[in-house]
Amino acid sequence: MLIKSIESLNDGLNVLWSDSSSSCFPWLWLRDHSESKADLHPDSKQRQIDVFSNPPNNSVDKVFLDENSKHIVIKWIDESESNLSFELLQNNSEPSLPTSNAMNTLSFWNTPSEIINFPQMSYEEVMSNGGIKTWLTHIQRVGFVLVTETPETPEATKELMERMAYIRNSIFGGFSVWDNKLENPDDTAFTSLAIEPHTDGTYVHDAPGLQTLHCLKRNSIGGENQLIDGLAIAEKMKHNHPDAFNILCSVVIPGRYIKSDVYLEAHRPLFRVNDNGDVIQVSFNNHDRAPFRLENDQMNKFYDAYKIFHNLANDSSRQFEFMLDPGKVLTFDNWRLLHARSSLTGYRQLCGGYHNREDFESKLRSV
């Protein structure tokens, strides 16, 4: 969309677009969003102009289009100047409330057979130029990626994770190596027990964005991993069980993690949605759900809705099951996919850690 013409009005600058639509940008908004060197730091892109401490005189002396630099220049009566790119004006041509990014609903999967273009690549590929973009795109598309032929060492796994971003610290440490023979395990994850489908970190305000797991040594029977697309369950419930979906969007569920010297607790609905009602995060961990009680009729409705989600997540036809073998590194979107594990006998040594959600999104924007 190109700018056809501009016109100064009392309320603001009216921009007439090539499709014959128009946008009237208020004068204060234009001054506040100026991209001139003085108003917006050229390197940090941080706002330097302050329109609040000393409210400026927004009387316009002159306004014109600079076709060469593709900017609109406004000369104010106080002799200051604002400069706004056509791109900024185009991006803001329609007023709208800022909303969190919704997940991509084009490629959710109800069964493993619906996973198109299986998200797998070699270690060499992901570590080569441009490889990280493919890796990120797989996660964005279907919620996970498997990296094969990885050297079976903690160092190589850490290097792979750091290709994306720094590794997040948590109650379990940063990058960690563990096995299922700990004397005093902090979590079921460090045992041989089965674990129901869940997302990690329902007890922290900002749940880990990505989780990476690599089984370095395996001399065991069982212990298969399962992945379930929580976004697919959300879409199914939205259409088939809208009342239950709405309950799971609104009831704030407490999650907790308790040790002798730690008591973490956070509250989040199972489905977090943006202002458009699109899902931005799935949080579910029946093991870590803390006690809460609603009015009896509300509690019953909550249990009915939670049961629908629980049973869909535990439906084996929805689960992509595989064995984490040495050399195969799994990374998945912990805001979208649920993960589970069958019980095992024998010995396993694993390593891995977390990434923050914003770093995943940042890398997607910048590669």
Chain residues binding Fe ion by CB under 5 A are 200
Closest separation between CB of residue 180 and Fe ion, Å? 14
Taking alpha carbons only, the member of 182, 195, 222, 190 closest to residue 323 is 222
Q: Toward Fe ion, which CB reaches closer, 200 or 229?
A: 200
Q: How far apart are CA 282 and CA 313, in angstroms?
A: 12
Closest separation between CB of residue 149 and Fe ion, Å? 25
Position with the least CB separation from Fe ion: 200
Query: In sequence order, what are the residues at sequence separation of 6 or more whose Cβ sits closer than 8 angstroms to the Cβ of residue 280?
Result: 100, 101, 102, 103, 272, 273, 274, 335
What distance, in Å, lies between the first and last C-alpha atoms of the chain?
26
Asked whether 349 and 157 are in contact (CB, 8 A), the reply is no
Closest separation between CB of residue 339 and Fe ion, Å? 6
Asked whether 58 and 28 are in contact (CB, 8 A), the reply is yes
Q: Toward Fe ion, which CB reaches closer, 207 or 237?
A: 207
Closest separation between CB of residue 90 and Fe ion, Å? 43
Q: Is 146 exposed, middle or buried (0-12, 13-18, 19+ CB in 10 A)?
A: middle
Q: Toward Fe ion, which CB reaches closer, 39 or 200?
A: 200
Closest separation between CB of residue 189 and Fe ion, Å? 5
Q: Toward Fe ion, which CB reaches closer, 83 or 212?
A: 212
**DSSP letter (8 states) at residue 317:** G
Closest separation between CB of residue 293 and Fe ion, Å? 27
Do you know the residue count of the chain?
A: 367
Closest separation between CB of residue 259 and Fe ion, Å? 16
Q: Toward Fe ion, which CB reaches closer, 83 or 283?
A: 283
Closest separation between CB of residue 209 and Fe ion, Å? 14
Q: Toward Fe ion, which CB reaches closer, 138 or 341?
A: 341
Closest separation between CB of residue 187 and Fe ion, Å? 8
Q: Toward Fe ion, which CB reaches closer, 3 or 195?
A: 195
Sign of CA dihedral 135, 281, 274, 25: negative
At CB < 8 A and 24+ separation, what contacts does 275-281 make? 275/97, 275/99, 276/99, 276/102, 277/249, 278/102, 278/103, 278/105, 279/102, 279/103, 279/231, 279/234, 280/100, 280/101, 280/102, 280/103, 280/335, 281/207, 281/335, 281/336
Q: Toward Fe ion, which CB reaches closer, 302 or 354?
A: 354
Q: How far apart are CA 144 and CA 331, in angstroms?
A: 6
Q: Toward Fe ion, which CB reaches closer, 200 or 333?
A: 200
Taking alpha carbons only, the member of 160, 194, 168 closest to residue 180 is 194
Strands 329-333 and 144-148: antiparallel
